[in-house]
Amino acid sequence: MSATVQSIDTGPEEAVAPDALTDGFHLIIDALKLNDINTIYNVPGIPITDLGRYMQGAGMRVLSFRHEQHAGYAAAIAGFLTKKPGVCMTVSAPGFLNGLTALAHATTNCYPMILISGSSEREVVDLMQGDYEEMDQLAVAKPLCKAAYRVLHAEDIGIAVARAIRSAVSGRPGGVYLDLPAQLLSQTMEAEAGANSLVKVIDPAPRQLPAPDAVERALAVLKNAKRPVIILGKGAAYAQADDDIRALVEKSGIPYLPMSMAKGLLPDTHPLSAAPARSLALKESDVVMLIGARLNWLLSHGKGKTWGDAAKQFVQIDIEPREMDSNIKIAAPVVGDIGSCVSALLAGMGDDWPVPPSDWTDKIDTKKQSNMERMAPRLQNNNVPMDFHGALGVLRTIMAERPDTVLVNEGANTLDFTRSVINMYKPRKRLDVGTWGVMGIGMGQAIAAAVETGHPVLAVEGDSAFGFSGMEVETICRYDLPICVVVFNNGGIYRGSDVNPSGGSDAATTVFVKDARYDKMIEAFGGAGYYVTSPDELKQAVNEAIDSGKPSLINAVIDETAGTESGRIGNLNPQSVVSKK
Ligand code: ADP
Ligand code: TZD
Ligand code: MG
């Protein structure tokens, strides 16, 4: 259905019948729908209120949030999950800025996303005359995304939307800003010309085949390896080349380490998973193949103590040529899309590829077994108050029984322990804080995961982390989404037991209200709240909540002293050499 304008009064002597006209509102809708973009994450207001209404009227799913940042995080993760740009729509200046954090986050994480913001009159903005919510949004957005475009004429909307889509998903994916000045929306043009101006993007993310000599070079390095390891990153999860990636790992016989959001690409219980022996695998390996993972801070930049003294060669598969040698020398760069690169490697391996020497794989297996055996009893404790391991032991079983559930996860200790304890069994089921370690992705990502996948969502949240997006529990209830939020309530950031060093009456900087009842928050909007203090109660509540398919929030009381400063990255905290406390 073309969304032509029905109600434009051009006077009694109009040359063109009103239903033969279209306008900016409807051209945007038609352009998005033509490109199979049917879901919008937004906060309404001037000048895009009607645009949202018309979108909903035209059959698009328009989800309204309580804050643009969460609509933005939803759009960003929708892009990761679907390989299509997730779209966030906001009002001008403050709404735009609220959405911008998520746009920058999407760009940093290589998720395709489009932030569409209304803006005020160009003439007034450019003369800085103080329009309603005035801001030169295009200039502000530019350094924080892959590309930023502004559309001034209705006839350019089709091209602008096409450009935004292609920019977001082609090459290394990322965030794109699309600026829509208010006056554009009501500009009219003849409907037929309007329809002809739209562009259906052909092959928005073209395959990029690796050069044959690059593939040969990589295979030569791999073949000579004595202690090889493969690192799978979230680019590998994004690429949706799941079968070939699994085949590559299995055919090569090389132990692999999944980065956080690549967990489940192969089941974490796979015999070649080296995750429980991560330190050993990084330190002692002689050849490392990175597939869609950057050597950024999360991998200690490929050097230092984490990587040990053994000489190493790196093979790196990435779509972005400039990623090569960004931190250390890459011996065999393979530039191309992961699907094409992995299938080229598979083809080049032939039928008699040698598996790695067994002294290496045995060493990893031994370490893995002993680490898993050490962990097992901690996960079975039924202590009250709960510690992280007691609570996570229960959630780990629940996720094993419900492998289609999407796990959203943020916090410090809550993040680190959940990542290492909870096994994932399917690709793209673990969604977390990403490259920046940003708090606040929780409810936005949970909402998008439920909307985009139709599967139940379990959000495991630190109490601080949850606070960043807590008001979106209303959004969850409003759309009646199958999301179970578990708040690991240890009364603060890292711990709830800190004291004010001055002895004053203000709470310490990292602690919150004692015995906070987060469960009551969701009850205010009709969701189910649970208050649990033991692993047994937690297990019962989560199973009941997920079975119900209804919005729920479980306040899981955790020992306020159980956490450590900054979780596992306390080493990144600068230390004062003068202060004693
Ligand atoms: P992680 O945090 O899991 O280590 P990163 O976000 O650091 O992962 O790395 C993801 C990498 O994957 C980026 O360098 C990005 O360019 C790359 N990438 C994303 N999609 C593709 C794709 N389809 N083909 C090849 N590389 C990709
Ligand atoms: N603000 C933003 C946007 N991102 C951040 N990462 C932080 C602040 C700093 N920060 C962390 O790195 S973790 C964290 C903050 C505030 C919260 C940790 O507390 P929690 O988790 O309750 O979520 P635990 O389980 O108590 O450790
Ligand atoms: Mg906490």
Model pLDDT for residues 176-231, shown as the tens digit of each residue: 999 999 999 999 999 999 999 999 999 999 999 999 999 999 999 999 999 999 99
pLDDT in tens, 122-174: 999 999 999 999 999 999 999 999 999 999 999 999 999 999 999 999 999 99
pLDDT higher than 70, residue 5: no
Domains 21-197 and 380-567 share a fold: yes
SS3 459: strand
State in Å: Cα 517 to ligand 3 middle.
Answer: 14
**Homologous superfamily assigned to 380-567:** Thiamin diphosphate (ThDP)-binding fold, Pyr/PP domains (3.40.50.970)
pLDDT higher than 80, residue 386: yes
State in Å: Cα 412 to ligand 3 middle.
Answer: 7
pLDDT-derived band at 2 (thresholds 50, 70, 90) equals very low
For the chain, the domains span 21-197, 212-364, 380-567
pLDDT higher than 80, residue 371: yes
pLDDT higher than 70, residue 378: yes
Q: Which of the listed residues 230, 231, 234 should we mutate to test ligand 1's pocket, taking the one with most ligand atoms within 8 A of CB?
A: 234
At residue 13, the pLDDT reads: 52
Closest atom of ligand 2 to 465 CA is 23
CATH C-level class of 21-197: alpha beta
pLDDT higher than 60, residue 11: no
Question: Would the CA dihedral through 515, 413, 297, 344 be positive or negative?
Answer: negative
- For the chain, the average pLDDT equals 96
pLDDT in tens, 95-106: 999 999 999 999
pLDDT-derived band at 3 (thresholds 50, 70, 90) equals very low
Q: Which residue has the CA at smallest separation from atom 9 of ligand 2?
A: 439
Question: Which is higher by pLDDT, 227 or 5?
Answer: 227
Pocket of ligand 2 (CB under 6 A): 411-414, 437-440, 462-465, 488, 490, 493-494, 563, 567
pLDDT in tens, 460-470: 999 999 999 99
At residue 571, the pLDDT reads: 87
pLDDT higher than 70, residue 581: no
What single letter denotes the amino acid at residue 122?
R
Before 47, cis peptide (omega within 30)? yes
Please state the pTM of the whole predicted model: 0.96
pLDDT in tens, 270-295: 999 999 999 999 999 999 999 999 99
- Report the candidate in 57, 46, 427 with the shortest Cα–Cα distance to residue 233: 427
Q: Which of the listed residues 105, 298, 464 should we mutate to test ligand 2's pocket, taking the one with most ligand atoms within 8 A of CB?
A: 464
At residue 16, the pLDDT reads: 63
For 63, other C-beta atoms within 10 Å of its C-beta total 20
Residues, the chain? 581
CATH C-level class of 212-364: alpha beta
For 172, other C-beta atoms within 10 Å of its C-beta total 16
pLDDT-derived band at 579 (thresholds 50, 70, 90) equals low
Residues sharing a CB contact under 8 Å with residue 365, sequence separation 6 or more, in sequence order = 277
Pocket of ligand 1 (CB under 6 A): 109-110, 172-173, 233-235, 238-239, 259, 261-262, 292-294, 296, 298, 318-320, 323, 337-338, 435
Q: Which residue has the CA at smallest separation from atom 6 of ligand 1?
A: 109
pLDDT higher than 90, residue 49: yes
pLDDT in tens, 321-367: 999 999 999 999 999 999 999 999 999 999 999 999 999 999 999 99
State in Å: Cα 67 to ligand 3 middle.
Answer: 23
What's the distance, CA 364 to chain centroid? 30
Ligand 3 is an ion; residues with CB less than 5 A from it:
462-463, 490
Q: Which of the listed residues 230, 320, 343 should we mutate to test ligand 1's pocket, taking the one with most ligand atoms within 8 A of CB?
A: 320
pLDDT higher than 80, residue 457: yes
Residues sharing a CB contact under 8 Å with residue 427, sequence separation 6 or more, in sequence order = 237, 240, 242, 264, 265
